[in-house]
Amino acid sequence: MATNTTPASSSPLSSTSRIIQLAATISSSVAKLQEILDAAGSPSPSFDQDAPVAPLPREALAFQDAVLDATAELHDLLLEPIELIFSHGAHNNMACLQAIGRFNIAALVPLAAAATTSFEDIAAKTGLSLSMTRRLVRHAMTMRIFCEPQPGFVGHTQASRWLAVPHNSTWITTAGDEMWPATLKMIESAHTYPDSQEASQSGFSLANNTTQSIYDVMAMDPPRAQRFATAMHAYAGSPGFDAAHVLDHHDWASLGPAKVVDVGGSQGHIARALASRFPELDITVQDFAPVIQGAEDALPPDLRPRVRFMAHNFFAPQPLRADVYYCRWIFHNWTDKYAVLILRGLASAMTPGSRLLIQEICMPEPGEIAHWRDKMYRAMDLNMAAVFNSHERTVSQWETLLAEADPRFQLRDVVSPPGSVLSLFDVRWNATEEMVEGRPKSGGSYLV
């Protein structure tokens, strides 16, 4: 939207109009982005189903930001207010995505190049009417999901082919059947339970007609819980959540022979990556017993001496002494009340010199990052509100949370690796060192 821009002058001759400025930004940035792709031997982006799904080179990310923000602003500037507001409404999009997930429509379209299937065939296999099938799938096409290479026949685009992968299909099913109903009840829960710290008073709970939290609901329905966990694999496999970000942007090698505890580490995919890259690390992965079941048996033989699994509830006092306690993407599921309890459980084991490495979204201040990324983070923040009654946190919110848990927690540095959705919060215990040169002790922006 154009709200963060300087309005163009009413006189067309007094200055360059905003739409011309945006067009110039798009033209120059696309040219530079293509130069980088050509130099790297990378293909140009394409909707074609056979186009590779790969992250842009790191040096192209700034130009990606410029193009996406400028094209979105230009698009929005040329709409009337009612058209602008309607274009950002998601209810019709979600109805369409829910149908694609629930009936696994992406898997009904052949994957072979240029292969298609008819609307009639999709309707017969889903049980939907031909009319509704055509309307839903053609609406999906406006989002670049599926294409109609010849009248009446549906083919894949890159996006629909991605949805044909089983765990990606599960992700979109979970979005439609779990996240969306919770979101529809989010405002009701926020009004009914203002400033609640309980997951049992969330939009998810209201949507499920229960006074229990999502954790309790899922515990009573293992297949549903497994579907939710499988859906999260779609995130884990995306470039923004690549393990390389934590491997490359924290100085693990300088630790030497160190003990690491991966708190809430699930089946240990980050621990395996760390142990493979840094042979001096000794890593224990902690999670609930059902979560880690079978994980040790799946380890490569060469990692078994240095990677082990331990059943542990992270609200309880931490039983292991370690050099680093690593928490990846777990705090955002919990309100401040419970995040403090997790931190206090860790504080019971920390000693001078030990550190806590937290990998979470770092919520930006307005105007701090590219508009399209800001929009994505704020959507994720509302997801947490709807399902867990929790939130993503800014740097200042992290500082407040750490101080409440124990003033000996000191946030020493925050790094946001290029292309990563998650930032790295380097927290030291009772540290006396100054912040890394060039980074503020508190407030300001830590984004790099």
Domain of residue 322, CATH code: 3.40.50.150
Residues 292 and 363 in one domain: yes
- Number of domains the chain contains: 4
Residues 208 and 248 in one domain: no
- The mean-pLDDT minimum among 11-15, 304-308, 346-350 falls in 11-15
The contacts found for 42-48 with CB under 8 angstroms, 24 or more apart, are: 46/158, 47/144, 47/147, 47/157, 47/158, 47/159, 48/157, 48/158
Residue type, 50: D
Residue pair 386/185 in contact by the 8 Å Cβ criterion: yes
> What single letter denotes the amino acid at residue 356?
L
Look-up of token digits 């705090």 = 331
In a shared domain, residues 229 and 264: no
Catalytic site residue from 250, 312, 332, 391:
332
137 and 180 assigned to the same domain: no
332 assigned to active site:
yes
Sign for the CA dihedral angle at 15, 20, 26, 31 comes to negative
Q: Residue 54: pLDDT band by 50, 70, 90 thresholds?
A: confident
190, 216, 236 — which closes off a domain?
A: 236
d(CA 304, CA 295): 11
User: Helices 222-236 & 166-174, crossing angle to 10 degrees?
Assistant: 110
- Over range 339-362, report the average pLDDT: 96
The count of other CB atoms within 10 Å of the CB of residue 316 is: 11
Please answer whether residues 232 and 219 qualify as being in contact, where contact means their C-beta atoms are separated by less than 8 angstroms.
no
Q: Are residues 174 and 149 in the same domain?
A: no
- pLDDT-derived band at 431 (thresholds 50, 70, 90) equals low
β-strand pairing of 259-263 with 324-328 = parallel
- Let me know whether 371 and 226 are in one domain: no
Nearest to 324 by CA among 350, 295, 285: 350
**Lowest-pLDDT range, 88-92, 173-177, 340-344?**
88-92
**Unique residue bearing structure tokens 């201040």:** 365
Last residue of a domain, one of 134, 164, 194: 164
Beta strand pairing status for 153-155 and 147-150? antiparallel
Q: What are the pLDDT digits (tens) for 231-283? A: 888 877 789 999 999 999 999 999 999 999 999 999 999 999 999 999 999 99
Q: Which two tokens stand for residue 151?
A: 């009248």
What Å distances lie between residue 414 and 226, 358, 411, 432, CA to CA? 33, 9, 8, 17
- Residue 68 pLDDT > 90: yes
Residues 409 and 350 in one domain: yes
Higher-pLDDT residue of 182 and 1 is: 182
As given in the structure block, the two tokens for residue 375 are 């929009």
The span from the CA of 340 to the CA of 326, in Å, is: 16
Q: Do residues 44 and 137 both lie within one domain?
A: no
* Structural domain for 50, as ranges: 18-86
* 217 located within any domain: yes
Taking residues 417-427, what's their average pLDDT?
A: 96
Asked if the structure places residue 415 within a domain, the reply is yes
310 lies in the same domain as 355: yes
**Residue type at 145?**
I
Would the pLDDT of 435 be above 60?
Answer: no
